[in-house]
Amino acid sequence: MHVVMIKHGSSKNRIALVISLFIAIYATIFMRLVHYGMVESPEKQFISQQASFSRPVILDRNGKILAMDITAFSLYAEPRRITDIDEVAEKVNRIIPQLSLKTLYGKLSSSSGFVWLARQLTPAVKNQLMLAGIPGIGFRPELKRIYPAGRTTAHIIGLTNVDNAGVAGLEKWIDGQGIDDIRHVGLANAESLAPVITSIDLRVQHALHYELSKALVEYGAAGVGGVILNIKSGEIIALASLPDFDPQFPTEAQLPDRLNRITASASEMGSIIKTFTTAMAIEYAGADLTTIYDATNPIKVGNQLVRDFFGKKRPLTLEEVFLYSSNIGSAHEALSVGVEAHRKFLVETGLLNRIHLELPEIAKPMEPRHWTPPTSITAAFGHGFATTPLQTAVGIGGILNKGILVAPTLLKRSHSHTDLQARRIVDEKASAILRHLYRLSAVKGSGRRANIAGLRVGGKTGTAEKVIDGRYAKNRNFNVFAAAMPMDDPTYVYLIVVDDPAPKSERRGQTAGLTAAPLAGEIIRKTFSFLNLTPQFEGQNI
C-alpha cells in the first residue's frame, strides 16, 4: 500500500488560494451589483446627456441678451418600479391635465426603465408634483432656451427644440459650426462656449418690428418685412418679417405664413430693379444722365405691350427714365447692353445666386432657363425673375457704396474682416449717378413720402403684380421701397416690403409709393438717432 504524503504547508497554501479566489469572485459580483445600482441604464444616460446640452449666449452688438440657457426641470417615470399604474396616472393627470390618462397609462405601462412624461415644467407644477408624493416618478434638471426679445428677433435668432438643439435661424446655424463635435467630447458647457455677438442693434430692431406690426394691420397686408443694412460693413442692423412667431412656442413657427419674407422668399421685385438696369446701362453701355431713350411708343413683347404707367410719350433722358420709372425707357437701356451682358450683370451684383448668410432659411432666386430679348426687356423693370429682398438690398448697397459690395452678415464684424468680404461691382461714376438719381426720386419722385428733412434720404419704389395661378393679378401687389442715407456717401440702406396690401381706406392706395415708402419714412424717423446720424439743414441741394 502506497501512502500519499501531503506536506502540511502546501495544503494550507492551496486552501488559502481557493479562499482568495472565492473572495475575489464574490467581491467582483458585489462591486458589479453596486455599480449597476449606482449607474444609470444606457437609455437613461443617453436621455440625461441629451437633455444637458449647453448653448452659447447670443447678444446684440451692444451686449443685450437675445438668447440664453436657464435651468428647468422635466418629469420622468421608471415604469418597472411602479406597482399601481392607475394611481400614478390619476395623480399626475390631476396636476398636469394636458397629459391625458390614456397617454400616461401607455407610458407607465412601458417595459422601458425610463420614460419622459413632461419636459421643462414650471417651478409651481414641479412643486405640486413633489408634494403629491407620487411613487416611481422623478425630476431631471435640464437646460431651457429663453428669448428675452420674444417675437421681435424671432426670424433672426430662430429657436431650439425641447432638447435644446437649434432648429431654425441663428440657433440652427450655430449647431452647424462645430458645436456638436465639442458636445460629443463633453466640452459644451456654459463656461467653454464664447458668446455669439450679432450685428443686430436691439433698439433699432424694436423700432423696425413695432412699425411693421402697425403696418401689417393698417395696410391689411398678407405680410410685411424690412431689413436695415450697414453697406460699409455688410452688417445687418435689424431684420424682421411679419406675421412672426413666439420662439417659446415652436408649433407657431410652422404656420405657412410665418416664413421669413426677407431671406426665405423669392419674389419679383418690380421697378426697384431699375436701380440695377440703370447702373448696367452706365457701366456697360457708357450711358450718362443725358443719354436719350425713346419712350414715345410701347414695346411689343410677344402678345403683350410694355407700357408706362404714367407715360410721357416722348424721348426721355436717363435721368427722366429713372425719375418717372419708365418701363419703356428701362427696356431700351437693357436692349442697349444685350441679353448675355444683362444676365451677367445681375449675376455679378448678386441677384441671381443664392446669398450666403448665417441663416438656414435662404431662398434660391428663380429665373428663366433661357434668356431671350423678351426676357431681358421684362427683367429690366423687375418682372420675369425672382430674388430675395435681402440680396436686393445688398446689391443696391453695393451700387450706392461707391460701387463696392460688402457681403452681408448677422455677426458683428471688424473692419479688417470687412475688407476681406468686399468686391467692386460698378465703377465710381455709375455709383455717383445712382446716388444722384436716388436723391432725386426721394425729392421729386415716387419716394417723396420717405424723405426726412435734414437726413438727405434717397429712395426707389417697386410695385410688382403678384403671380396668382400662373397669371399676373391686377390689384395684388408685392410692394418694395429701398431707401439710403445720407446720399452724399450712404452708410445705411433700408429695404421695406408690403406683401399684398388691401387697405381699408381707398386713399391709402396699393402701390409702393403709398405703402412701403411712407412706412420706410416712419421707420427712418424712429431709428436714425440710434445710428448716430445727425440731421443737417444747411447747404441742402439735390
* CA–CA gap between residue 451 and residue 359 (Å, rounded): 32
196-197 and 58-59 strand pairing: parallel
Helix axis angle, 428-444 to 389-400, nearest 10°: 110
Would you name the residues annotated as active-site residues?
271
Query: One-letter amino acid identity for 476?
Result: R
* CA–CA gap between residue 456 and residue 453 (Å, rounded): 7
Dig out the grid coordinates for 346 from the structure. Answer: 445681375
* CA–CA gap between residue 147 and residue 104 (Å, rounded): 31
The label of the residue with cell 429701398 reads 482
Q: 296: buried, middle or exposed (CB in 10 Å: 19+, 13-18, 0-12)?
A: exposed
Gyration radius from the chain CA atoms: 33
Dig out the grid coordinates for 536 from the structure. Answer: 443737417
422-424 and 159-160 strand pairing: unpaired
Element spanning 403, H or E: none
* CA–CA gap between residue 216 and residue 241 (Å, rounded): 10
Residue 531: Cβ within 10 Å count: 16
Dig out the grid coordinates for 332 from the structure. Answer: 431700351
Q: Which of 338, 346, 340, 226 is nearest to 274 (CA)?
A: 346
The label of the residue with cell 460701387 reads 403
Contact indicator for 518, 238 with CB cutoff of 8 Å? no
Query: One-letter amino acid identity for 489?
Result: D
Cβ neighbours for 94, distance < 8 A, ≥ 6 positions apart: none
Contact indicator for 401, 431 with CB cutoff of 8 Å? yes
Give the CA distances from residue 281 to residues 192, 265, 340, in Å, rounded to whole numbers and listed in that order: 53, 28, 13
H/E/C letters for each residue in 40-107?
A: CCHHHHHHHHHCCCCCCCEECCCCCEEEEEEEEEEEEECHHHCCCHHHHHHHHHHHCCCCCHHHHHHH
Cβ neighbours for 338, distance < 8 A, ≥ 6 positions apart: 376
Query: One-letter amino acid identity for 194?
Result: A
* CA–CA gap between residue 43 and residue 284 (Å, rounded): 65
